[in-house]
Structure 1
Amino acid sequence: MTAVAAPAPWHREFPGRLAGSVYAVAPGARASAARALRDAGIGVHVDVMAQDEGLPAGVGQTELADIAAAVGPSVLDVHLIGSPAFVDTALPEVLAHAPAKVFLPWAAFTAERADVIRDAGASAWIALWREWDGAGSPAWPAPPDGVLVMLIEPGTRDRCRTERLAIASACAAHSPVMVDGGVTKDIAPLVIRAGVESMVVGRALLPGPADGEGV
């Protein structure tokens, strides 16, 4: 297991509010990064993507098993990024690692899949990109346990779109909310002021990402 440095010290300013995205570091270091996050009291967030659907290489199932073994059960949050067909293929193995939360794309979020996740002891969260603009009441495809508001397009690298924190605030009136995408030490206070419960952080938290890796 490749050794990595400890998470950036600013994480101590937001106790219990952060999850570190291991996708931000090189593949060989992700299990070690997950352990460092756990030891620092930070949640571990894993993106598992459908690589045959034009998305970049995320964390594979073998690597997910290594990460899960490094941190133990009920520490991981897993975000499945891809089509409903991909979700159906990947979900059973993901649930075998006893994640605390599973995030499904809006298009794949159904009552049936949510029940499968809950029956496995995890909570079922919906990932929101452009499916709701924050006006009125959200028309969830099925009731979620929480909402992951993406501040960048899932599966891409981009700067944090802080204007989307208004959507996160609107969601927070209906459900627990996390945000993901380009969060830094300077943006984190804006996230908290928006009423968001927690946030996923990648390169700003985990040192030494490989060039071209992660978001």
Structure 2
Amino acid sequence: MSETAHDPLRAPRDPLRDWYRQFPPFTVGGSLYAVPPAHRAATAAALAARDCRVHIDIIVDATGRGLGVSARELAEARAAAPYARIDLHLIVADTLPAALAAEVVGETVATALRTGAEAVTMDLARIGRHPAAVEALHRGGVALWLEHTPRARVLEVPPGVDGALVMFIPPGTKQSADPSMLTEVGRLAATLPTAVDGGITAPVAARCAERGAAYIVAGRSLLTAAVPSAPAPAPASVPASVPAPASVSAPAPAPRTENHREDLP
């Protein structure tokens, strides 16, 4: 193999591209799903050392097979970055049988509580169908964020939701960011802490921040170890009438680490 060829088992020297530095600490997060499994723990440590958050995609297809970051990989990432600010995004195929979906949601909640995640993002269907799991999140001090996608734009945010994750592409796909979602960022950020994800590049990140995004998730545009990943199933649109859990107060943010970007070489 030539020295210029990409070797997915060989970590790059500089794990992050510099554009994250234009934002305040903990505004930018890296998606570990974009990185080969062998690099995920080290990437989590690199993100935490640079005051960036760690975003974990838990992806389950219609057969119940996990396609995203595994529980073992998440545990390794937490061990490598014990003070990292971690959030989880649960992406479940809409055709997954109800019993399996309930099991996946329960396991995700348990994982969030066990690993000290700050927030879990779910779609409207999961929030409405699994109120006990949602309540367990809130009891454990984990924020509940609502997934908002180009295919399933939520017109009314249900009670009990602490934030919104605006996807600029359908979850699990590799399209270019949909610029029309910038309007949704501004609308949701007026009332909720709002994050963005999906095809986010440095220019798109800047435009999202201008519209009030408090958290910017990026994968291939940020992480130099990132390689194309297998696409995950995108949940189908769900009606806005799905019942939601009772309202609760948002938990306090996690304490900051002692590392600061200005201290880096």
Query: What is the root-mean-square deviation in Å for CA atoms of aligned residues?
Result: 2.4
Of all paired residues, the percent bearing the same amino acid is 31
Question: Counterparts of 1:7-156 in structure 2 under 5 Å?
Answer: 7-16=16-25, 17-53=27-63, 57-72=67-82, 75-82=85-92, 84-85=101-102, 86-110=104-128, 111-129=131-149, 130-132=151-153, 138-156=155-173
TM-score by length of 1: 0.88
**Distance 1:206-1:158 versus aligned 2 partners, 3 A rule:** same
In 2, are the aligned partners of 1:157 and 1:214 still within 8 Å (CA)? yes
Paired residue type of 2:107: T
- SS state at 1:57 partner: coil
Cα distance in structure 2, aligned partners of 1:53 and 1:155: 16
Unaligned runs of 5+ in 2: 1-8, 95-100, 233-265
**CA deviation map 1:115-172 (0-9, x unaligned):** 2112222211111123336xxxx42343311000111101222111111110111111
- SS state at 1:35 partner: helix
In 2, are the aligned partners of 1:46 and 1:78 still within 8 Å (CA)? yes
Question: Is residue 192 from structure 1 mapped to residue 202 from structure 2 by the alignment?
Answer: no
- SS state at 2:19 partner: helix
**Distance 1:30-1:213 versus aligned 2 partners, 3 A rule:** farther
**CA deviation map 1:81-122 (0-9, x unaligned):** 115422233321232111011111221114543321122222
Cα distance in structure 2, aligned partners of 1:141 and 1:179: 19
In 2, are the aligned partners of 1:23 and 1:46 still within 8 Å (CA)? yes
Cα distance in structure 2, aligned partners of 1:37 and 1:150: 21
Paired residue type of 1:132: R
TM-score by length of 2: 0.72
Select the structure of larger CA radius of gyration. Answer: 2
Unaligned runs of 5+ in 1: none
Moved over 2 A (4+): 1-6, 51-56, 83-86, 88-91, 110-115, 130-133, 138-143, 210-215
Cα distance in structure 2, aligned partners of 1:98 and 1:67: 12
